[in-house]
Amino acid sequence: MPAGTTEYERECKYFDINGRQKRGMPQRGDPHHHPEVPKESFFRRELPKHCISFSSDEGKKLFREALGEGFMENYFTLAAQYRTQSEPAFCGLGTLTMALNALSIDPGRVWKGPWRWFSEEMLDCCTSLELVKKQGITLGQFVCLARCNGAQASVFYGSDSDEATFRNVVETTSKASEFVTIVSYNRGKVGQTGTGHFSPIGGYHPRKDMVLLMEVARFKYPPHWIPLSMLFEATKDVDAVTGRSRGFVTLSPSQEFCFWCSNNKISDKM
Amino acid sequence: MPAGTTEYERECKYFDINGRQKRGMPQRGDPHHHPEVPKESFFRRELPKHCISFSSDEGKKLFREALGEGFMENYFTLAAQYRTQSEPAFCGLGTLTMALNALSIDPGRVWKGPWRWFSEEMLDCCTSLELVKKQGITLGQFVCLARCNGAQASVFYGSDSDEATFRNVVETTSKASEFVTIVSYNRGKVGQTGTGHFSPIGGYHPRKDMVLLMEVARFKYPPHWIPLSMLFEATKDVDAVTGRSRGFVTLSPSQEFCFWCSNNKISDKM
């Protein structure tokens, strides 16, 4: 650094101090630019045909129609807290973080600076984060973490439920901003790569019978509309770790009030 | 851990293996629950009266109206990439990360796992991250980082611009999904706590002349609608570090095409 300059005046390696591009700036696609790119790396995946990207023209049309029919009420609180899961196996923790912040639950402890706030790394109660990094969490662990952090959680195992119940839950919670519904399903059953996955549901389109999935693995797939019946079928998939099916969960901020029932036992080997 | 149990069967400290709450579970507000909470910590701040929260009833009404008038077109790509800045001083990096991902720019290097993706920690070109953690970035550094990472950036210093130009930029980019407008302003000038801040603009309500700010410090304020003229005035504030005013920037994915002008010199002491 030349004498007399401050760190703020330090020159960028690609542009000079007057904003002019320097010679030798690496070009995109130049293999010398980012030598750390492994041969097998991915820049997003294409959605299967039956899924409609949130920000496509067709996705915007579905959004407008669903909004007009009143089924995007809890979209707004969720959208205000939309996030990407912070690790490739943190879909459960990312989904729960988003839900807890959307429900305005005070974590009662500090995130960074003076701010009380939820991030995935703070959800370290029911199982170790190192283990979660390797293999994710089960539906039971998700519910346990939700309750430990101040949410009321009602769980529905796909194998014990039916499509009409799922539709009723999605319809009801899409119309009420004080609830979040999350879904635990097998991606392979909806034509996507991967297996077990969690994401929140951000809205419902009744005529098309499609659900807006607020995908938390945004480095892979964008948020998208997906047929409700196909998503429900994917919740019936059995998780090999627990021997129980996946499912869906409604969350609300109160520990005092149970929306769906008064006794939700969690028994998939927490 | 009892013999014969797996890590997945490990009991949570607050709930037993059947989901029953154990005695002695700490209650919210119990000072013994989270002894690490400092006396001066904050759970969000209240918006000033002239700002309208995105997810309030009034905010939803503004959203519906602006959507109907066609000024929320680039909202969708931005909303799909909405994020919280990852450090208290990372508003500039958080805003840029959101914009680069919204513009579908391939970073050409891996985030985590096999995925190419932008996160704040990858924006380490024009200045050191350790310095950014302490004092944030300047408008010039923001533009430099945007260009180094594959975006076309056109910068407007508030002191060299006017409200009509700002309105024209906001109107135009709100109607086009291939652009993102970001604003660099002084929070104190819009009745909020804090000083220099960056956030993307997610839409425009023409009749109310209000802008949707996609607030990246979501641990502090929610996304909100704010009067355009007040926001523009706050871009004229002089940044003591550079001696130049703050301003606004349009970003697009192409390095080949300049939307607003063909020669944008950056000279605020990069």
pLDDT tens readout for residues A17-32: 555 566 555 444 443 4
Q: Distance between the two ends of chain B, CA-based, in angstroms?
A: 56
A157 strand-pairing partners: A247
- pLDDT, residue A7, reads 42
Residues 6+ apart with CB under 8 A from B84: A83, A117, B94, B216, B217, B218, B219
Determine the distance in angstroms separating the CA of B166 from the nearest CA of chain A, rounded to an integer: 22
Chain A positions touching B131 (Cβ under 8 A) are: 7
pLDDT recorded at residue A3: 39
Tokens 């807890």 sit on residue: A100
pLDDT at B29: 42
**pLDDT in the model for residue B61:** 98
Domains, chain A, ordered by start? 52-254 (3.90.70.30)
Classified as helix, coil or strand, B135 is: helix
Tens digits of per-residue pLDDT, A176-224? 989 999 999 999 999 999 999 999 999 999 999 999 999 999 999 999 9
Tokens of A204: 């419902």
Q: Is pLDDT larger for residue A177 or for residue A12?
A: A177
Q: Is the pLDDT reported for residue A8 higher than 50?
A: no
Low-confidence stretches of chain B (pLDDT beneath 50): 1-10, 26-35, 256-270
CA distance B180 to B173: 7
Q: pTM to 2 decimals?
A: 0.86
Q: Which among B37, B55, B141 has CB closest to A177?
A: B55
ipTM over 0.90: no
Could you report the per-residue pLDDT of A139-173, keeping only the tens digit for each? 999 999 999 899 999 999 999 999 999 999 999 99
* Contact call for A8 and B269, based on CB within 8 A: yes
Residues B234-252 have pLDDT tens digits of 999 999 999 999 999 999 9
Cβ atoms of B92 and B131 within 8 Å: the answer is no
State which residue of chain B sits closest to A128, comparing Cα positions: B7
